[in-house]
């Protein structure tokens, strides 16, 4: 759905039932588009639910990551003969599905926030919005690995507060709930497809008792 993510409905029972619905329809593309709209609807519902239940514990400020993912779900479009695609365009989504290692590229290190004021703020944004100046504290052999960015609440203070840990890379675990339950999603598609088929049949035969 997003680049590098493919969500397939490979269940034999789903394919058989959906195929039966398609076979009865004189307008199979209408059935497929309805199924695509249901996928889009269910994805948005799932992501919005995660946004409501997934408040960050570090700060009351919300980045609303999952709401942004929900907003990136596209409408279904025909991408081939009897093929419908729904796309999640947020480029960060694949990382949530698969997990993996993020490595610093242009910057010398990744900045990992560890204090409320640093949450969802880059170092530059932190300084601009808080008016505090970050300074580098190195440990060990002096490399950026395991160094921190910290601030002093006032220039005369002997104490400082660590805002970010610097690291060359960080490994994230896959979010097993990133996508909705496949069985629930497949059942929703079948219900939607059947309703469209029933309307098609009713339109072809509006008064079956006279036949």
pLDDT in tens, 193-204: 999 999 999 987
How far is 137 from 126, CA to CA, in rounded Å?
17
6 within a domain of the structure (yes/no): no
Residues 105 and 92 in one domain: no
My answer on whether 122 and 139 are in the same domain is yes
Question: Distance from CA of residue 31 to its chain's centroid?
Answer: 26
**Confidence grade of residue 99 (pLDDT, cut at 50, 70, 90):** very high
- Give the three-class secondary structure for 16: helix
- Say if residue 87 is in the same domain as residue 155: no
Coil vs helix vs strand at 45: helix
Q: Is residue 201 part of a domain?
A: yes
Is 52 in the same domain as 80?
yes
The total number of structural domains that make up the chain: 2
**pLDDT tens-digit map of 2-57:** 454 666 777 899 999 999 999 999 999 999 999 999 999 999 999 999 998 876 77
Q: Which of 3-7, 62-66, 71-75, 115-119 has the weakest average pLDDT? A: 3-7
Task: Specify the higher pLDDT residue, 18 or 82.
Answer: 18
User: pTM here?
Assistant: 0.81
pLDDT at residue 105, as a whole number? 80
In a domain, 3, yes or no: no
Query: Does residue 165 share a domain with residue 64?
Result: no
Within a domain: residue 175?
Answer: no
Domain range for residue 17? Answer: 12-99+185-210
What pLDDT is attached to residue 152? 93
Distance CA 167, CA 7 (A): 33
Residues 80 and 153 grouped into a single domain? no
Which pLDDT value is given to residue 5?
64
90 and 107 both lie in a single domain: no
- Does 136 share its domain with 159? yes
């Amino acid at each position: 759905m997003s680049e590098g993510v493919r969500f397939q409905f490979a269940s034999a029972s789903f394919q058989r039932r959906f195929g039966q619905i398609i076979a009865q329809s004189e307008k199979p593309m209408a059935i497929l588009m309805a199924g695509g709209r249901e996928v889009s609807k269910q994805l948005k519902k799932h992501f919005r639910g995660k946004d409501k239940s997934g408040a960050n514990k570090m700060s009351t400020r919300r980045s609303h990551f999952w709401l942004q993912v929900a907003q990136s779900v596209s409408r279904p479009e025909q991408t081939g003969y009897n093929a419908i695609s729904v796309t999640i365009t947020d480029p960060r989504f694949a990382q949530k599905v698969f997990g993996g290692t993020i490595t610093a590229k242009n910057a010398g290190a990744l900045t990992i926030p560890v204090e409320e004021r640093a949450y969802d703020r880059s170092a530059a944004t932190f300084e601009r919005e808080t008016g505090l100046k970050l300074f580098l504290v190195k440990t060990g052999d002096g490399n950026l690995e395991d160094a921190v960015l910290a601030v002093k609440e006032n220039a005369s203070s002997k104490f400082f507060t660590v805002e970010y840990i610097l690291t060359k890379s960080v490994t994230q675990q896959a979010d097993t709930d990133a996508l909705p339950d496949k069985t629930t999603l497949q059942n929703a598609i079948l219900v939607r497809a059947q309703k469209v088929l029933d309307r098609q049949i009713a339109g072809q035969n509006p008064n079956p008792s006279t036949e």
